[in-house]
Amino acid sequence: MEGIVFSIEEFSVYDGPGIRSTVFLKGCPMACEWCHNPEGQSFDAMNFDGRTIGKKYSASELCSNLLKNADVFSFSGGGVTFSGGEPLAQSDFLIECLQALSGKVNRAVQTSGFASEKVFSSVLRHCDYVLYDLKLIDDDLHQKHVGVSNKTILKNYNTLANSGVDFITRVPLIPTVTDTVENLTRIAELMIQNNVRKVELLPYNKMAGGKYRLVGKNYSPSFDENVEPNPRIEIFEKHGIAVKIL
Ligand code: SF4
């Protein structure tokens, strides 16, 4: 089986435990208005800044390349992280890669959880660690700013939290959109209902708009990107949740 990848970053330290290689799978069915990887949204190869973005790999070719750093992974307690785009959107390829790496390295998936419950559970059976993004709990706001309903995302979060698989919850802090008192309170409450006690907050990346023009898109977020996002750490701490700001 072939998959399409738009970037591979080696020696990453922010995408799970230890030192990792992060594979960015191309394609995402969502449309977060703050997405800082517009070149990763389409499922097809494209021209970007004079380069072709999107390379097809077989699972075996990709995994044998990744395993060249196996010593570094093992020394640091790291491994391989599949990110995107949305990696669950290439779930058959993803599972084949996860199976090929089984027992060799720690396997992580960074996801927004937007996939059928069946697909999510299948992927979960093959990973050692999950980085799960929660953006907005209000479904109308989620549809407005992310382009899709969050219903399956919230169900899959519940499945993850009760699966026994090690994971971290991540929240992108988008000024006046996700960083509101109401949204962060509802995220903290959801976490506590699921007995989840740690969160990582990712402040808005002001460089997000930089690549849009180069891929022929407009970047026109509905929020004022010059407003600093407010992490409101106290909301999480009040609920007994440890916060790390990335
Ligand atoms: S889920 Fe990630 S890749 Fe997809 S649109 Fe949102 S930020 Fe971009």
pLDDT digits (tens, 9 = 90+) for 185-215: 999 999 999 999 999 999 998 887 888 887 8
pLDDT of residue 78: 97
List domains and CATH numbers for the chain: 2-245 (3.20.20.70)
The alpha-helical segments, DSSP class H, found in the chain are 59-66, 70-76, 91-101, 117-124, 139-146, 151-161, 181-193, 233-238
Residue 166 has pLDDT above 90, yes or no: yes
Measuring CA to CA, which residue among 49, 38, 246 is closest to residue 133?
Answer: 246
- Give the percent of the chain with pLDDT over 90: 88
The per-residue pLDDT for 25 is: 98
Which three-class secondary structure state does DSSP give residue 13? coil
The minimum-distance atom of ligand 1 relative to the CA of 40 is 3
pLDDT at 213: 81
Determine the average pLDDT of the residues in 85-107: 97
Residue 216 confidence class, pLDDT cut points 50, 70, 90: confident
- What is the structure's pLDDT at 134? 98
Atom of ligand 1 nearest to the CA of 34: 7
Closest atom of ligand 1 to 172 CA is 7
* Residue identifier of the C-alpha nearest atom 3 of ligand 1: 85
> Ligand 1: residues within 6 Å at CB?
28, 30-32, 35, 37, 40-41, 84-86, 112
Atom of ligand 1 nearest to the CA of 147: 5
Span from the CA of 152 to the centroid of ligand 1 (angstroms): 16
pLDDT at site 91: 98
HSE-up of 56 (CA within 13 Å, CB side)? 5
**Could you tell me the pTM of the whole model?**
0.96
| Residue owning the nearest CA to atom 7 of ligand 1 | 35
Ligand 1 pocket test: pick from 30, 33, 81, 132 the residue with the most ligand atoms within 8 Å of its Cβ: 30
